[in-house]
Each structure stands twice: as structure tokens, then as C-alpha cells.
A = this chain, B = another copy of it.
Amino acid sequence: MEIINRISRMSAVSAKLLSSDVQLGLVTTMGVIHPGHISLIETARKMTDLVVVSIFVDRLQFRSDEEYLSYPRDITRDVDLLRQENVDYIFTPAGEEMFPPGFSTYVRVEQFAERLLNVEVPALFRGMTTTILKMIHIVRPSFLFLGLKDALQGAILRKMIRDLNLGTEVVVTPVARHPSGLAYGAHNCFLSETDLTAASVIYRSLTAAEKAIAGGERQARKVLQEIVRVLGTEPRAKVEYSFVADPESLEPASRLQGKVLIGVGARFESTMLNDSLLVEIPTE
């Protein structure tokens, strides 16, 4: 395993591998390696020749310096965990090298998912798309592995990759979950003991939606009502969004058919948690 800090070194490695026909898989992380990442890495191991895990805490994806600086960082622990998974390269560039003074080129996926979310995420997504585009240019992976948990991010990145004709394919893997049902995620470490338990309501709301659909419900409105009802049973959860949408276009569904993406975002104190479920509606 090689730990790479410099962009130029990572570019040189990926260029060399590309010209020797080696397929790279990329798992992007902001560190705080958890079982969700491990599950992505295991999938990457099976599908590609070599696995690169990036660790980069991306200032652009935080609302404030305070949030950014309080984000947990423990590179020693992360490296140990990744070594156990036989990761080939850890790419952990410095913020100043990724975004040097004068940096000013941004990529935006416009008019997408806007109908789903009327929260102020677009600016954060601009950071996410720009950073991932840079990562793809540097690492040149054949496959980018993303968890279904952040289904919105996944759909936006797939749209970016398609619109810009990037040669990278996005592989979305199922959500890795705590026995309580809570999706593993870097933000979980911010939760109090009480909230860790309470947050399992998110997955319960998703499975309630799934159950309603299995029971024959085909109206998105009714499915959303069921999600909100279940989330309402947990007073500690502040619902930020919930949607039932086409997994590719993110267009809100009204009558359910084909594949449907169900997503929920809820806040516990100041910690935002996301979760998603992909449901295949049986043809009638």
C-alpha cells in the first residue's frame, strides 16, 4: 500500500496504470473510515484490478469554517483500517494543493434535483461535483464506488459524468447498516448515545414505505405520508426532506412504477443524516 500526498505523484501513477491496461477503482472519502466505506472497498476489490481510496476533507462541502474545522480527522486510524482491507493506494492531498489560491473553476449540475429539495444545497453540491471531477481527472478510475445512502449525490454525479462524457462508471452499492438499521456514516460520530438510538427511526420510516408499496400502495403522496408519520413518532428527529423519485432523473414520482428511489434526510441536534432505499415496483 502506498500513501500518496502529491497530486503529481497520483497522476503519474494513474497514467502509468492506464497505459498498462490496469483498471482502477476509486472510493472517495472524507476519512473517518467506517463499515460503509469498507463495503464499498470490498465491492471495488471484486470489480477492479487496483483500489484507490481518497481521504480528503473538502472545505467546499461545509457551510462554515467552524463546521469544517470540527470535522473529525484521524489519518493513523484510517490508514490502519485501509491497510487491513488491502487497499493499493491511499490518496490524501492537501487542501492547499487541491484548491490553491486563485482557484476559480467550478462545475455545476444545473436544474437538477431542484424540484426535490428546496434547501440551500446547490452550493454544497457545486463543491462536491468540482472535487469529484478533480479526483476523477487525477485518479482516472474506470469505476467510482458510491453508497446508496447518499443517493442524491450519486444521481448528481452520474448526471455530471454522463453530461461531460467522462469514461468513469458509477457503481452504487447497498447501504451498510448498524444492527439498529442506522446507516453507517461519518457524521454518526457526532451523535449522542440517545440520538444514536433515536436515529434508527430513519430506516424504520424507509422500511415502512417499502412495506406500504409491497402492500399495493402506488401513490407517491401516500408513501410520503407514511414516511412522515413514522418519523413523527421520534420527537428528536427534525425532518429536512423526504422524496420518492426516479433514481436516474430524480424527477418526483406521482404514481409509482419501475424503479423508485426513496430518500430521507433528518437532523438530530445539528447532525444531518441521509438514507435511501431503492424499491423495484412489480409490474402489474
Contacts and interface: CB of A to CB of B under 8 A. Distances in A.
A165 B112 contact: no
Most buried by B among A15, A134, A160, A167: A167
The majority secondary structure among interface residues of chain A is mixed
A107 interface: yes
A11 B167 contact: yes
A102 B140 CA distance: 26
B105 A164 contact: yes
Nearest to A112: B104
B104 A159 contact: yes
Contacts of A104: 109-112, 159, 163
A66 interface: no
A105 B105 contact: no
A108 interface: yes
B11 A163 contact: no
A233 to B, nearest CB: 38
Pairs A-B, 10 closest by C-beta atoms: A105-B163, A104-B110, A137-B165, A107-B107, A19-B21, A104-B111, A138-B165, A105-B109, A105-B160, A134-B165
Interface of A: 7, 11, 15, 18-21, 102-112, 129-130, 133-134, 137-138, 140, 159-160, 163-167, 249
